[in-house]
Amino acid sequence: MINQEIQDTLNSQMNFEMYSANIYMSMATWFDAKNLVGFANWMKVQYSEEMFHFTKFYDYINERGGRVLLSGMDAPETEWDSPLAAFENALAHEMIVTGRINDLVIQATEAKDHATVNFLQWFVGEQVEEEASVDGVIQQLKLMEGAPGGLFMLDRELGQRIFTPPVKE
């Protein structure tokens, strides 16, 4: 059976993962409106990843005999000044997620909840990948400042991204 405080924090993170998904879908709609369909695709794939994260938390809470509780959430932003600004916003958000995951690991460690510490290790590694992925696009966007043709080449590249769910352990 899962500790109530751990359950509450896991539920909070699970709901934050859904909020993260909404942020990425909002960014996808913004990119679609700008006719940057490759960028929109990248964000839709990110949405799917965030929903996968949501489901991992959902399943884990249930597996531990806990109670999953959904909560309301704020509406995400809908406008950005540029593709670079959108990705910088995404990176800032991923850094918040990383901090939240790190805090969860600390809480679970202090509670001597080794199962939850083990569960969270996947997310620790995932956040390294999440931040690097977003930062990679940011670095490309910065390199092509003043070269609008590069934006369309990157758009084409980002359109190739697909969501492949990780293999369940």
pLDDT digits (tens, 9 = 90+) for 8-38: 999 999 999 999 999 999 999 999 999 999 9
In which band, very low, low, confident or very high, does the pLDDT at 168 lie, cut at 50, 70 and 90? Answer: low
What CA–CA distance (Å, rounded) separates 144 from 150?
Answer: 6
- Provide the token pair at 12: 């909070």
Per the document, the length of the chain is 169
What CA–CA distance (Å, rounded) separates 80 from 89?
Answer: 9
Q: Is 162 left (phi over 0), alpha (psi -120 to 50) or beta?
A: beta
- Provide the token pair at 14: 């699970």
In which band, very low, low, confident or very high, does the pLDDT at 153 lie, cut at 50, 70 and 90? Answer: very high
In which band, very low, low, confident or very high, does the pLDDT at 148 lie, cut at 50, 70 and 90? Answer: confident
In which band, very low, low, confident or very high, does the pLDDT at 167 lie, cut at 50, 70 and 90? Answer: confident
Record the pTM. 0.94
What CA–CA distance (Å, rounded) separates 12 from 71?
Answer: 8
* Domain 4-72+82-158: top CATH class: mainly alpha
Q: What is the pLDDT of residue 15?
A: 98
pLDDT at 169 over 80: no
If residue 161 lies in a helix (H) or strand (E), which one and from where to where? none
pLDDT digits (tens, 9 = 90+) for 63-109: 999 999 999 999 999 999 999 999 999 999 999 999 999 999 999 99
Return the half-sphere exposure (C-beta side, CA atoms, 13 A cut-off) of residue 79. Answer: 1
- Provide the token pair at 164: 């492949």
**Mean pLDDT score of the chain, rounded to an integer?**
96
Q: If we measure between CA atoms, which residue out of 75, 101, 123, 137 comes closest to residue 9? A: 101
- What percent of the chain is modeled with pLDDT above 90? 93
Q: In the chain, which ranges are continuous DSSP H helix? A: 4-33, 37-63, 83-110, 114-143, 148-158
End-to-end CA gap in the chain: 21
Tell me the domain boundaries of the chain. Answer: 4-72+82-158
What CA–CA distance (Å, rounded) separates 99 from 60?
Answer: 20
